[in-house]
Each structure stands twice: as C-alpha cells, then as structure tokens.
Amino acid sequence: MSLSLHNTLGRRLEVLSPLEPGHARLYTCGPTVYNVAHIGNLRTFVFEDVLRRHLQASGLRVTQVMNLTDVDDKIIRGATEKGVSLEEFTAPYTEAFFKDLKRLNVEPAERYPKATEQVPEMITLIETLGSRGHTYESEGSVYFRIATFPDYGKLSRIDLSQARRGERVADDEYEKEDVKDFALWKAAKPGERSWASPWGEGRPGWHIECSAMSMKYLGSRFDIHTGAVDNIFPHHENEIAQSEGATGEPFVNLWLHAEHLIVDGEKMAKSKGNFFTLDDVLGRRDDPAAVRYLFLSVPYRKKLNFTWEALGAAAAAVERIRAAAVRIGELAASGAEKPGAYPIEERSEEFRRAFDAGMDDDLNTAEAQGALFPYLRDVNAAIDAGALGAKEARLARSTLERADRVLGVLPVAPEVLPSEIEAQIEARNAARKRRDFAEADRIRTELAERGIVLEDGPGGTRWKRK
C-alpha cells in the first residue's frame, strides 16, 4: 500500500508507515455527550470511518479508540440545571450518538472509553507530569505550565508571543488566541460531582482525558490521531504537551483534521435556522445513505457546503449505484452464458486502480466516487448489448462490493435463510437428475458466494456456513 495523508504537524503529505507493521493504531476524538450531534460533527465521524475502512481495505488491522467525554463544564452545568446525575444527563445523548453512527453506516471502533471510567489513569498521568516539572497547583487545581514545554505550538503554529507567563485558563474550551497555562485537574465547586485526588476533591480537565485514554489503549506512541479542525488548538496542542511532556517521546506520527461543514454557504447557527441534526435532515429526506454519500463527495480537508439540492443529487447518485447493483446481481445469479465479448476483467481492474488512486491520495473520496460512475455506465452498456454472462457479472459485482466496503452506501446482503438454502439444494438435485451439471454448479457457486458450503455425501447434500 502507498497511502499518503496530510499531516497537520508539518502541513505536508506523508506516506503512512505503521509503527507496528500491518497494524494501524488510530485515536479519534469522540463526542461530548451533552447534546445531539449536528451534521458538522457527523461529517468528521464519517471521515474517520472512511479512513478506518480504507486502512482495512489496504490490508491493515485497525485498532481505533474513540473517547466519550461524559464530564466537562457543559455537562456539569446541564446536569445541575436539570437536577439529575451526570449519568442520567449523558445517557440519552450517548444513545443518540450511537444511533446516528449506525444510520450513517459507521463501523464501530474497537473501544469507546468513557472519561468518568478512566479518572485513575488521568491522575497518574498528571502525577507523572508533576514529577517532570510541568505542573503547578493553585487552590486545589493543577495546571500545565506551557513555558516548560518548548515545542508548545508546533501543531497549531499558534502565535506564542501572545503568551504571558503565569496566566492560566480554567475552562475546558477557550478562545483561539488564549495561549495560557491550562487545567489538568479542576478543584470541585460546591455541589459538583467530584473524585478524590492527591490535590483534593475535583475532576479532570478535558484535554488530559484524550492523552490518558489514547496512551492506555494504543501505547505512548501511535500512528494516527484525528479530529475536526477546531480541535487543533487548544485541544490537540495540549494533548501533545501532556503526552510528550510525560514520556519525552514523540506522541503521534500523523495528525488528520476534517474541515467544517457549512449550510447554504454560511456557518451553522441555531439563531440562523440553519442548524441541523441528522433527525432534522432525515425528517425532510429519509435517506441516510444519501447523507453519507454527500459527506464523501467533498474531500475531508475542504469545507463541505450542505444544501438540499446537493443532498438531492447525492440521493440520485446512491439510487443509480443501487439500481446497477441490483441489475448486476440479477445477472450474476442467472445461468446466462456469454462468450465474454466485453473485456470485463480489464475494465474492472482499471476501475479498481482509479478508485484506489483516489483513496490513496489523502482519502480523495470525490475522486473515488467519480471513478465509479463511468464504470457502472460501461457495465450497464455491456449488459444492454448482451455482452456479459453470469460469470462476468459476478466479477462486476465483487468489484462494486469492494468499492462499497469504503463508500458504504449499498444495503448489506440479507442473511440467507435455511428455507431458501433448502430450496436451492432441491433445485440443484433436480438439475443433477436431468444431467444439467452447469446449472447444478451455478447453484453451488452462488451459494458459496453467499457463504454457504454444500457437501454431497451418501445421505444426501448437507450445508454449512463458511
């Protein structure tokens, strides 16, 4: 494989070379579960899914960790206002998040650690930073002294001349120009949910969460860390300071960031009435695959302009892909024999190369999608001309399915039912009785492609799942 990815650290394309051969380790910042994700958030999660799927399609094992931030300023405020526990407050939003991922056909990560379940690891990391001289305490809170980390700013290229010694910021999220010491541990305010620590009752800051969890599950150094562009500063800058401050080693090889989604050319805002959740969008057009397709129609490093027209065009594109898949599938399941006048092998190989070239070029999903339609057009034309048989159609089908392992817009093949298999075995026995061995073989091949293996024995034909 030769996958080039744009590294925010250094602002250049780099070829991925996993630290452990054959295994890509990936950390993707997860949601803060204090509200329902908007479609801009979801664009980032779909980009990360495409990254994951392409790594797998390239033959790599992937270990992906995504944190769930279930304690921070906003969550504590929200839970207090509603008079409920943190768990009661965050549970419905966590559930909504996973429902959205499922509808957008996002494959699950290997782990989804919750911040509230990893507090001891965060305390240990803060202690390590303390022993290396990176922290100071003030009124029960612990801060990272950025002046002790000379590399501070290397990811975001923030203007360090704005930094004023000793000034600090206690909020989890703060202004872009605030180059200040940041909170690792925050002293509990009266009535707040808190944890015991060497510095008294309190709770971890947001940034330390991702350093602690990524290092726990992926090791102190790993391959890829992703997020949205607004994570670059302060969140990811702070993660680097915490992790490299603690280990003295490089933290992450490649930092990838997805650009914003805008609506009708404008930034999303509740006040402008252009702020959409997935439910809002599906309320107008109930086609999650079209939303996913639209997200992929623009490379992740470009701003995506969401419009209803663009969603309509995406829905039409998905419809064309599905219609072609059905047509190819029917021919593949038929007994049609053709001399193979159409060079399907060469054409499929040409498409695969174009598709992979797009994906390997910093996940250029627009280029990969663009390669698909000429291929489907050619296959359709060959079917019209009677130039494809079942065998050729099976190759076209597997070529399309391979592309869809990344695109993820086709429905997953329905589970084969035992009654359906029994009927097929019966049809095959009948074909063998009339010495139609071509038909018998076709049925066996078709079932094999659906994961069903037939075994002929003295007691008749038995089947099992592969």
Residues that bind Zn ion (CB under 5 A): 29, 210
C-beta of 210: minimal distance to Zn ion in Å? Answer: 3
In sequence order, the β-bridge partners of residue 202 are 187, 195
Identity of the residue, 242 or 369, whose beta carbon is nearer to Zn ion in the bound complex: 242
C-beta of 168: minimal distance to Zn ion in Å? Answer: 20
- Per-position DSSP letters for 106-125, written without gaps between them: PPPPSB--BGGG-HHHHHHH
Q: Are 358 and 368 in contact (CB under 8 A)?
A: yes
Identity of the residue, 214 or 399, whose beta carbon is nearer to Zn ion in the bound complex: 214
C-beta of 417: minimal distance to Zn ion in Å? Answer: 44
Q: Are 240 and 143 in contact (CB under 8 A)?
A: no
C-beta of 59: minimal distance to Zn ion in Å? Answer: 28
Tokens of 193: 């949910």
> 90-94 long-range contacts, Cβ below 8 Å, gap at least 24?
90/33, 90/34, 93/31, 93/33, 93/34, 93/35, 93/36, 94/33, 94/68, 94/70
Tokens of 10: 């250094």
- Per-position DSSP letters for 15-71, written without gaps between them: E---SBTTEEEEEE---BTTSPPBHHHHHHHHHHHHHHHHHHHTT-EEEEEE-BB--
C-beta of 231: minimal distance to Zn ion in Å? Answer: 6
* Element spanning 104, H or E: none
Identity of the residue, 206 or 375, whose beta carbon is nearer to Zn ion in the bound complex: 206
Q: Which amino acid is at 439?
A: E
The overall longest dimension of the chain from CA atoms, in Å, is: 90
Identity of the residue, 29 or 187, whose beta carbon is nearer to Zn ion in the bound complex: 29
C-beta of 320: minimal distance to Zn ion in Å? Answer: 38
- Of 411, 387, 394, 399, residue with least CA distance to 339: 387
- Of 407, 394, 269, residue with least CA distance to 344: 394
C-beta of 111: minimal distance to Zn ion in Å? Answer: 14
C-beta of 235: minimal distance to Zn ion in Å? Answer: 6
Q: Are 48 and 286 in contact (CB under 8 A)?
A: no
C-beta of 72: minimal distance to Zn ion in Å? Answer: 11
Query: Measured between alpha carbons, how far is residue 11 from residues 8, 39, 301 in Å?
Result: 5, 26, 12
Phi-psi region of 263 (alpha: psi -120 to 50; beta: other; left: phi over 0): beta
Identity of the residue, 180 or 235, whose beta carbon is nearer to Zn ion in the bound complex: 235
Identity of the residue, 29 or 101, whose beta carbon is nearer to Zn ion in the bound complex: 29
C-beta of 227: minimal distance to Zn ion in Å? Answer: 6
- Of 308, 352, 298, residue with least CA distance to 46: 298
Identity of the residue, 29 or 304, whose beta carbon is nearer to Zn ion in the bound complex: 29
Identity of the residue, 187 or 212, whose beta carbon is nearer to Zn ion in the bound complex: 212
Identity of the residue, 29 or 425, whose beta carbon is nearer to Zn ion in the bound complex: 29
Mark 3-26 as b/e (b = at least 16 C-beta within 10 Å).
bebbbbbeeeeeebebeeeeebbb
C-beta of 28: minimal distance to Zn ion in Å? Answer: 8
Identity of the residue, 44 or 194, whose beta carbon is nearer to Zn ion in the bound complex: 44
Identity of the residue, 186 or 444, whose beta carbon is nearer to Zn ion in the bound complex: 186
Q: Are 235 and 171 in contact (CB under 8 A)?
A: no
What is the rounded distance in angstroms from the CA atom of residue 391 to the CA atom of residue 394?
5
